[in-house]
Structure 1
Amino acid sequence: MTSLEELPLRPELRGKSPYGAPQLAVAHQLNTNENPYPLPKSLLADLGTALAGVAAGLNRYPDRDAVALRTDLATYLTRTSGEQVVVEKVWAANGSNEVLQQLLQTFGGADRTALGFTPSYSMHPIIAGSTSTAWVDGHRRADFTIDVDAAVAQVREVRPDVVFVTSPNNPTGTAVDLDTIAALYDATDGVLVVDEAYTEFARTGTVSALSLLPGRPRLVVSRTMSKAFGMAGLRLGYLAADPAVVEAVQLVRLPYHLSSLTQAAARAALAHTDELLATVEAVKAQRDRIVAALPALGLTSVPSDANFVLFGHFGDAHAAWQALLDRGVLVRDVGLPGWLRVTAGTLEETDAFLTALGEVAPSHRLGD
């Protein structure tokens, strides 16, 4: 068989591995931050109707600009954020990863630079590399928060073309305050992308960066239907920004990039927003339950505004990960020494996780 080394790969791809979390057949899969609740039966029925309605026209291309879907997304953002969002400010693609890719294709590229405050979403530097955009790691404090003065100074020094801020941050979970986002915007002449994939799970009082959009034409807020909406299999992400940004990304989007089926399914889901988001409070309750249980096990966590918890400290995080897996619980080893990440699941899944962790912690926590 031919090896990768024998193919004429781009030099920056040599030695790299594809992105992906382990997909293992275990009883409790708590490693990919999915919403654990199945879709309501009323939505499943409407999905069948919606997909059947467009199936007869699959010999024709879909709406290239997905206007009806973007209109529904704008309505959702306006309703839930209190900010006035119109269709011209919204763009949609196949998952938020494609949204981010299109942004880097538009504003990054060869001889351009992106900066993100790591540890953060690992796909940001991967997508940057795939678009030939140079990547710079931004600084974080030891507690994983962003020191706004140091961050502003670094942005002014590096002068990146694209700056990423993940809020709530992944894998650490904490939301970034709006003052920090505004200061970073003022410090750069480039595009500032606030990745809000987990924002629906934020603690009370956390305000979306959507409120910062007026008067900031280089600010972009990206979202997804994979998490709070429980539609990870749909692959639908979107952004809100100045209409000029929406116009710009259309220069690089592939023709008819969103299928008719995807658009119809997403619109059907948005019509069931209240039912789908009803699971968010249940997930948050399990997240907070995990956080509250950790001290008794001699462990701690990073404050979380997401549907997951970063917890530690372990002497050997990977050994602790394996010990949990041996007990039928799959969590995520995110590569941070001493830390693991667990998705907040159902009541039963949290029971299983805490039981397994109670068995694992005494022999794996730091200092034991």
Structure 2
Amino acid sequence: MSASRFAPPSPRPEIADSGLTRPDWVGNNPRDPGKLWLDKNENTDPAMIELVRSVIASVPADAGFTYPDLGPVYRKLAPMVGVPPQCLLLTPGSDGAIRAVFEAYIAPGDKVLHTVPTFAMYGVYARMYGAQVTGLEYRPSNAGPVLHADDVVAAIATSKPKLVGLPNPDSPTGTVFSQADLRRIIEAAGEGGALILIDEAYYPFHAETVLPWVMEYPHLVVCRSTGKAWGMAGVRVGYAAAHPDVAVMLHKVRAMYEVGALSAAVFERMLDHEDAMRESVARISAGKAHFLAAMDELGFQTLKGQGNFLHVAFGARAEAIHAALAPQVYYRKDFAEPCLKGFSRFSATTAELFNPVIEAIRDVVKGEGQS
């Protein structure tokens, strides 16, 4: 009997939407391990990589064949971030925390306000759950992308969203709002009856945080990643922090187990190494400053940003520099968005790892100067 006469039922209209597409999950080419990976804002600090490797090696074998017991992780994490365990939700990366917020609170037709450009999954989840999106556009300027707190507050009042998504720092822009501006924005969202999600995936590269404010503002959710500062992008652990009344709703939409036993075991052990994490952040931040100083010295426009990444505009030398760097490093060469047009983005790394990249760029500049 031929199976061709059978057809699956129709998916939800939001999923059938032709505008909702995802990258190819089979045909992607793996990155060359011989190159420096500065394209996805991972932690490439060799000391941190070695620490994560040793922690993974220390995980007992039973973590591979048992279901996770996550209570100890919640109890260990809570005092480190300054909220009760009942305020936390472990997730598969901060991406999982963002999805949990959408799944718990957004129904078809609800309004969502988020920055543009920003982390791609805000737009994906908005489509998945049928939201009406208002985009907060960063404007180009001589100093880089610009979005003022007054614009955010005004957009909240005008669009009356159910959810405001605001990464701080934002990506790919690297922009941040001050604590005073964040308080204004959070209070504007509360007055408008909206939930507000502050995405702190790059903490503590940008050390200011609003996470403890979740006990003050019941409509505030903060999410974090371990893929940046903690060097665990492959472990896929993140978390959300929220007032207990919101946290219990987020837990209602979680999977049977929030993260796997292997990931939980690595994360729990890594929490003993907070000092090492902060030392790695310091090394990478120093490397970022070193690279930026070299680019400034060569006369290129730079955007310093507040995440573990930076931007450089190579101008008329861009094509030659991209060709010179192609054999040794991955990075984002350019952006379609007007606020970042002409800029290349590099994930930050240590000064030692940046030095060959700097030298290759210097060689191009010297070579053109002699031609």
TM-score computed with the length of structure 1 as normaliser: 0.84
- 1:24 equivalent in structure 2: 31
Contact 1:315 1:338 in 2 (8 A): no
Change (3 A) 1:251 1:302: same
Distance 2:22 2:50 in 1: 39
Q: In structure 2, how many angstroms separate the alpha carbons of the residues matched to 1:22 and 1:168?
A: 29
Q: How does 1:1-368 map to 2 (within 5 A)?
A: 10-14=15-19, 16-18=21-23, 23-25=30-32, 27-38=35-46, 39=48, 44-55=53-64, 58=65, 61-63=67-69, 66-78=70-82, 85-142=83-140, 143-188=144-189, 189-202=193-206, 206-312=207-313, 314=315, 319=319, 322-333=322-333, 334-335=335-336, 336-360=340-364
String of CA shifts for 1:294-318, please: whole Å, max 9, x gaps: 222221222322211022263696x
Deviation by residue 1:87-139 (Cα, 9 ceiling, x = unmatched): 11111111110111111111123111221122222222123223332322113
CA distance in 1, matches of 2:362, 2:42: 24
Q: Deviations over 1:220-250 (max 9, x none)?
A: 1111111111111100000111111210111
* C-alpha displacement of 1:363: 10
Q: Determine helix, strand or coil for the equivalent of 1:272.
A: helix
1:136-178 residue CA offsets vs partner (Å, 9 max, x unmatched): 2113343323211122111111111111111112112232212
Partner AA of 2:329 in structure 1: V
Query: 8 Å contact 1:297–1:362 — kept in the other structure?
Result: no
Percent sequence identity is 25
Q: Structure 2 unaligned runs (5+)?
A: 1-7
CA distance in 1, matches of 2:74, 2:39: 30
Contact 1:27 1:328 in 2 (8 A): yes
Aligned to 1:3: none
Structure 1 Cα separation of the partners of residues 45 and 245 of structure 2 = 37
**CA distance in 2 between partners of 1:11 and 1:315 (Å):** 43
CA contact (8 A) 1:329 1:352 kept: no
Structure 1, unaligned runs of 5 or more = 1-5, 79-84
Q: C-alpha separation between the residues in 2 aligned to 1:220 and 1:120?
A: 18
SS at match of 2:17: helix
1:46–1:302: structure 2 CA closer, same or farther, 3 Å change rule? closer
- CA 1:360–1:24 in 2, change beyond 3 Å: closer, same or farther? farther
**Deviations for 1:277-307, whole angstroms, at most 9, x for unmatched residues?**
3211100001111222222222122232221
Q: Cα RMSD (Å) of the superposition?
A: 2.9
Q: Is the 8 A contact 2:303 2:311 kept in 1?
A: yes
Could you say if the C-alpha distance between residues 320 and 253 of structure 1 is closer, same or farther in structure 2, counting changes exceeding 3 Å?
Answer: farther
Aligned partner letter, 1:122: A
| Structure possessing the higher radius of gyration over alpha carbons | 2
Relative distance call for 1:23 and 1:127 in structure 2 (3 A) is farther
